[in-house]
Structure formats: C-alpha cells, structure tokens
C-alpha cells in the first residue's frame, strides 16, 4: 500500500480513537459494519443536546419493528479456518464428509458445541468446501453468534459466490445485529438463487425496517435539498425592499410614479 495512504489511515484511526462517535457517522456505516463483523466493540453514540439555529435539520430516531431477535455483537476468538492453498486428497474429502454427517446428527439433537467441533474438523480436512463453512455458520446462528456466522458466510461466498446458504445465513446474521439494509440485500440474493420458507419469514421481518431506513434517508435528503435551495435564493437588499414598499403605497393612493427596473429601464405606473 502507498505510504501516503497508510499515513492517512493512521491519522483516521487516531481520530476515531480520540472521538469514537465518528464511527456513527452515516457515511462510515460500511466501516462500522466491517468492524462489527470482526467482533469489535463500538461505544454507543453519546446522547447530547445539539446547539442549533432555526434552520438546522435534526434527524429523528427510527422506531424499528421486530427487534426481539437483535443481539449484542459476539466477540469470541475466531474458530479455526482451513488453509485455502492446501491440497486435498480423496481420503480427506471422505473424512470431511463423515465429520459433516456426524455434525448434522449433533445439530438435530441440539448438541451445537459438538457440531461446531465436528464441522471445524471437516473444514480443516477440506477447506475448499463452501457448504462446510455455510453449515458451521448456521450453527453459530443457533448459538446467537452473528459475527462468527458472518465470517464463515464470507468465506463460503469467496469459495462459491452462488452459495444461497451463504447469503441466507449472512442475511440472518446481519438482521441479528440490526443491520437491516445489508440483511435485506443478502436475503434478496439468496431468494433469487434458492428460495425457501426460512428466507420468506426473514424477509417479512427485515423488509419493513429496511424500508423505514430508506424512507428516513429520502425524507432528510429532501429537507436538506430544500434548505440548500432556500439558502441559494438571493436576499433583497433593504433599499430594494423600501422601494417596493413605496411603489405599492403610491399605487394604492392612485398617484403616478416612476421606478427603475433592475436593468435600468424607467417605467411609469399610474392608477386611477
């Protein structure tokens, strides 16, 4: 990476350290989401009363629905990931498949920790299998560990960009973190690849909140545009305002007067 860009990145990080509230800036939502997916803890946005003038626009909070399943970000150390450059033999693939089968049985019995161990073994044996990562991600969802699920889903999608399960689990994980817009995007992609009832149920919960965010954004974009247009309008000078007032007064009195238009054209006005 260019040394200058590295220096700028360091300055930005130092700014975030000294003022963590920067991470709540709407334009940095993508960076905040990335940090959360890595298990980072982000301080809540401080509630302060802003000092504003009459023309300032203060955004209201959005009241979301279906937030019962939203959880705090998990910050456990990442589970072992396979070596993507490893050469996998047929015997290793067979052994990985056997571990996966045992993990499915463990999941059906509610033994999620055992299932994680078996799926991790399978991943280390065959790190080129997208479905192994997606399956382990689904177990993390059951354990309410969305960040871990997102890491495995990301890896599954790197191996297979058309993995419906990868998109579905990542969408469910993002919904658990309250990332409604990102969740909606993933679930829509998953539904196009391989639609199922679980996706349909998730969309019913996610779509209303994602639409609220979009409507909120459009509303304040419109208000800010109106404010900018208002500021751009030229203000009348006191002299012109007084001239207009005199002209109206003269017309009401039925007298004649002449005044200059902005281009210096003199016109006589009379009223009977």
Q: Comparing C-alpha atoms, which of 65, 126, 124, 142 is closest to residue 93? A: 126
Task: Say whether 82 sits in a helix, a strand or coil.
Answer: coil
Residue 156, both tokens: 């599954």
pLDDT tens-digit readout, 32-86: 777 777 777 777 766 554 444 445 667 767 888 778 889 999 988 999 999 999 9
Q: What's the pLDDT band for 261 if we cut at 50, 70, 90?
A: very low
pTM recorded for the entire structure: 0.63
Name 266's bridge partners: 260
Supply the pLDDT for residue 8.
74
**Is the pLDDT reported for residue 170 higher than 90?**
yes
- Say which range, 82-96, 215-229, 251-265, has the weakest mean pLDDT: 251-265
Supply the pLDDT for residue 53.
42
Name 187's bridge partners: none
Report the topology of domain 90-215: 1.25.40
Residue 198, both tokens: 């679980």
pLDDT tens-digit readout, 75-110: 889 999 999 999 999 999 999 999 999 999 999 999
Q: Where are the domains of the chain?
A: 90-215, 238-269
pLDDT tens-digit readout, 177-213: 999 999 999 999 999 999 999 999 999 999 999 999 9
Name 259's bridge partners: 267
Q: Comparing C-alpha atoms, which of 65, 75, 254 is closest to residue 148? A: 75
Between 100 and 244, the more confident residue is 100
Q: What's the pLDDT band for 263 if we cut at 50, 70, 90?
A: very low
Supply the pLDDT for residue 113.
96
Supply the pLDDT for residue 112.
97
Supply the pLDDT for residue 242.
59
Assess contact for 153 and 182: CB atoms under 8 A.
no
Q: What span, in angstroms and rounded, lies between the C-alpha atoms of 171 and 252?
A: 70
pLDDT tens-digit readout, 102-153: 999 999 999 999 999 999 999 999 999 999 999 999 999 999 999 999 999 9
Supply the pLDDT for residue 189.
97
For residue 167, give Cα distances in angstroms to 36, 153, 193, 228.
18, 7, 9, 40
Supply the pLDDT for residue 73.
93
């Amino acid at each position: 990476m260019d040394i200058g860009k590295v220096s700028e990145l360091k300055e930005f990080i130092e700014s975030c350290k000294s003022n963590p509230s920067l991470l709540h800036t709407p334009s940095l939502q993508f960076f905040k989401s990335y940090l959360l997916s890595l298990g980072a803890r982000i301080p809540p946005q401080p509630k302060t009363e802003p000092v504003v003038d009459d023309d300032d626009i203060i955004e209201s909070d959005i009241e979301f629905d279906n937030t019962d399943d939203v959880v705090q970000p998990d910050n456990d150390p990442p589970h072992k990931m396979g070596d993507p450059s490893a050469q996998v033999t047929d015997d290793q693939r067979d052994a990985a498949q056997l571990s996966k089968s045992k993990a499915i049985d463990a999941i059906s019995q509610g033994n999620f920790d055992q299932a994680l161990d078996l799926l991790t073994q399978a991943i280390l044996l065959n790190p080129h299998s997208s479905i192994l990562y997606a399956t382990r991600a689904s177990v993390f969802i059951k354990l309410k560990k969305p960040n871990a699920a997102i890491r495995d889903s990301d890896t599954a999608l790197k191996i297979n960009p058309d993995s419906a399960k990868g998109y579905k689990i990542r969408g469910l994980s993002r919904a658990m973190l309250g990332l409604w817009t990102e969740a909606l995007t993933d679930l829509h992609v998953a539904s196009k690849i391989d639609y199922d009832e679980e996706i349909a149920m998730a969309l019913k919960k996610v779509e209303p909140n994602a639409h609220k965010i979009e409507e909120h954004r459009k509303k304040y974009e419109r208000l800010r545009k109106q404010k900018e247009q208002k500021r751009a309008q030229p203000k009348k000078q006191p002299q012109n305002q007084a001239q207009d007032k005199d002209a109206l007064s003269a017309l009401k009195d039925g007298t004649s007067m002449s005044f200059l238009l902005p281009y210096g054209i003199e016109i006589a006005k009379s009223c009977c």
